[in-house]
Amino acid sequence: MKTFISLLIFLSIGTSNEPIVELPIGLTQNEMLRIHEIYSMGRETDPPPSPVRNVAEYERMQGVLIRYPFGISTEIISEMSEDIIVYCLVSSNQQSSAFNALENGGVNLDNVEFVIGSTDSYWTRDYGPWWVVDGDRNMAVVDFTYNRPRINDNEAPLKMSNHLEVPFYASDIVHTGGNYMTDGLGISASTDIVYTENSIPDEDVDSLMQDYYGIETYHVLDDPNNTYIDHIDCWGKYLSTTKVLIREVPESHPQYDEIEETAEYFSNSLNKWGEPWELFRVWTPGNQPYTNSLILNEKIFVPITGGSWDDEALAVYETAFPGYEVLGFTGSWESTDALHCRTKGIPDLRMLQIIHNPLNDGSEPDINGYSLDVLFDDLSGTGLIEDSMKVFWKTPGADTWDFHTLSRSNAPEEQNVWIGSIPAIVDSGSIQYFVQGADSSGRIEKSPLAGWHTFFAHPTEACDEWLVGDLDNSGELNILDILLLSEIVNDNGFGICPQSISDINNDDQITVVDIVFLVNIVLNP
């Protein structure tokens, strides 16, 4: 039996020997009479140094925050502990019970850290810390005031900041994590309780969200579900910087019109790159909690009900996340309270950030192919490994990936931006690709974290005017063209145009024979 020494147990503030009081996700009658206490729980600091970037759920996580007694099964916790640290909020007098429950549930105890402190409920999503990368390139906690008069829960962000020894900032906004989603690039969304629960003008809320979280575009909508909880994770979420998920219901559903209006709203809004969101819909005819999922690195945890629509819901996630592992779990789920509500990701504090606008079906090739601009930034501060910045691509069904090494941009304003291309193709077809880099801390990171991006490649017309054999497009055939053709024959060629005009003898192959033909043409024009 493993001992407590095998665990990393850290003491934090809020240690208590009082018995745990379990509170519901909604307000109790007593709490309704004490709503005013919420506004006395807040704390406020100066905002983080700018620029501030709010970390998204689908970025690299080093752990996940839960509490004891658990709101999720040990089966789920065991799956999480295979890859990351499980941070467990627990009161000091319950620590032994928590340890035994985790051990008996087959959890990898080497990946468990106890954070000592009382809690009032297990909705760590709602009261847990929000994370930003501040202007000093530090991962930091930015706190808000929990929208429940629950002192213990409200202390969780500060406890995690102390536990992980990261900077702590606090805004005096009343908010809740279940009513918040962000793309990680300055766009976020909530229902309008973020306005109604704050006693300041709406525009002041927006301003504080920008100062403390770096949110430039804040979508605040009526709750289409029209439920008591008014949380956005009950009906939608950002899946990436380009994808968004919204629930779907039959026309007979009482909220059909409102949900469809919400889906249309997001389909008509633009992502960070100025492009329409790719909209995914998940069928929830019985108010199934399928949108209340947790993205945790290369795994997607989806709450399922054991019903006939589970497989279809999982298939939606598999389509949206090609190459990821999509896992369904039953539990004591409700339409207003499921897996996402009871967990909270903890980012990799020294992550290798990769920011990239994925190629899509509308992307146009130039003479070099499909251009890529990728930002790599190592929060570890150890330095990037320059020859590790690569793009990998293949057609669906191909056994191997081709790749090119990316080059650092020469533009002074584009520090840590790397550029390159995926070669265009003569015929149309789908291309799968991902970008990858490494830093000296040992981190090797991909974008996306698992699987690949996919886009439909169109044949380029940019090469139509190129003369056969004129590989440098100079207007004449010369020795340089011979040298370039040699590179292409040796699989060092780059760009669709040179390749499209390299079959000198027109035998549908590019070989040394084409070099001989081109030499003869150059010598005997």
In a domain, 471, yes or no: no
Q: Is 92 in the same domain as 218?
A: yes
Based on the fold, state whether residues 407 and 483 are members of the same structural domain: no
Residue 9, Cβ neighbours under 10 Å: how many? 16
In a domain, 462, yes or no: no
Using one digit for the tens of pLDDT, what is the confidence trace for 338-386?
Answer: 999 999 999 999 999 999 999 998 888 876 788 999 999 999 999 999 9
Q: Which of 88, 234, 341, 463 is catalytic?
A: 341
Q: Which domain holds residue 495?
A: 479-523
Residue 377: per-residue pLDDT: 96
Domain-located, residue 470: no
pLDDT digits (tens, 9 = 90+) for 140-184: 999 999 999 999 999 999 999 999 999 999 998 999 999 999 999
- Residue 252: what pLDDT? 98
Give the pLDDT score at 6.
Answer: 36
Residue 497 a catalytic site member: no
pTM for the whole structure: 0.86
pLDDT value at 9 more than 70: no
Q: What is the pLDDT of residues 36-65, one digit of tens each?
A: 999 999 999 999 999 999 999 999 999 999
> Is 463 a residue whose pLDDT tops 70?
no
Whether 19 and 127 map to the same domain: the answer is yes
pLDDT per residue as tens digits for the range 80-109? 999 999 999 999 999 999 999 999 999 999
CATH of the domain at 393: 2.60.40.10
Whether residue 466 lies inside any domain: the answer is no
Q: 307, 325, 347: which is the final residue of a domain?
A: 347
pLDDT in the model for residue 227: 94
- Mark which of 288, 317, 347 sits at the end of a domain: 347
> What residues are paired with 87 via a beta bridge?
65, 113
Residues 46 and 172 both lie in one domain: yes
The pLDDT tens digits of the residues spanning 230-266 come to 999 999 999 999 999 999 999 999 999 999 999 999 9
| pLDDT tens readout for residues 199-232 | 999 999 999 999 999 999 999 999 999 999 999 9
**How far is the first Cα of the chain from the last one, in angstroms, to the nearest whole number?**
84
452 & 498 share domain: no
Query: What is the rounded CA–CA span in Å between residue 230 and residue 225?
Result: 7
Q: Based on the fold, state whether residues 342 and 362 are members of the same structural domain.
A: no
Domain co-membership, 370 together with 510: no
- Range of lowest pLDDT (130-144, 211-225, 452-466): 452-466
State residue 362's pLDDT score: 82
Residues 6+ apart with CB under 8 A from 488: 471, 498, 499, 502, 510
Helix axes 512-523, 479-489, angle to 10 degrees: 180
Q: What is the pLDDT of residues 19-40, one digit of tens each?
A: 445 788 888 999 999 999 999 9
> Which of 156-159's residues contact partners 24+ apart within 8 Å by CB, and which partners?
156/65, 156/89, 156/117, 156/119, 156/124, 156/127, 156/128, 156/129, 157/127, 157/128, 157/129, 157/130, 158/13, 159/12, 159/13, 159/14, 159/89, 159/115, 159/117
Does 399 lie in the same domain as 483? no
pLDDT band at 196 (very low <50, low <70, confident <90, very high): very high
Residue 472 included in any domain: no
pLDDT in tens, 476-522: 899 998 888 888 888 655 555 676 778 888 887 889 998 999 999 99
The pLDDT value recorded for residue 491 is 67
Q: How many domains does the chain have?
A: 3
Residue 34 belongs to domain with CATH number:
3.75.10.10
Task: Check residue 525 and give its pLDDT.
Answer: 77
Q: Specify whether 86 is located in the same domain as 205.
A: yes
Shared domain for 331 and 395, answered yes or no, is no
DSSP reduced 3-state for 366: strand
Q: What percentage of the chain carries pLDDT values higher than 90?
A: 77
Work out the pLDDT band at 5, boundaries 50, 70, 90.
Answer: very low
Q: Is residue 467 part of a domain?
A: no
- Please give the pLDDT value at position 188: 98
Transcribe 170-216 into DSSP letters.
EEEEEE-GGG-EE-SSSEEEEETHHHHTSSS-HHHHHHHHHHHH--S
Whether 263 and 364 share a structural domain: no
Domain shared by 380 and 341, yes or no: no
pLDDT of residue 458: 73
Choose one of 347, 373, 402: the last residue of a domain: 347
Confidence class for position 194, pLDDT limits 50, 70, 90:
very high
Specify the pLDDT at position 468: 86
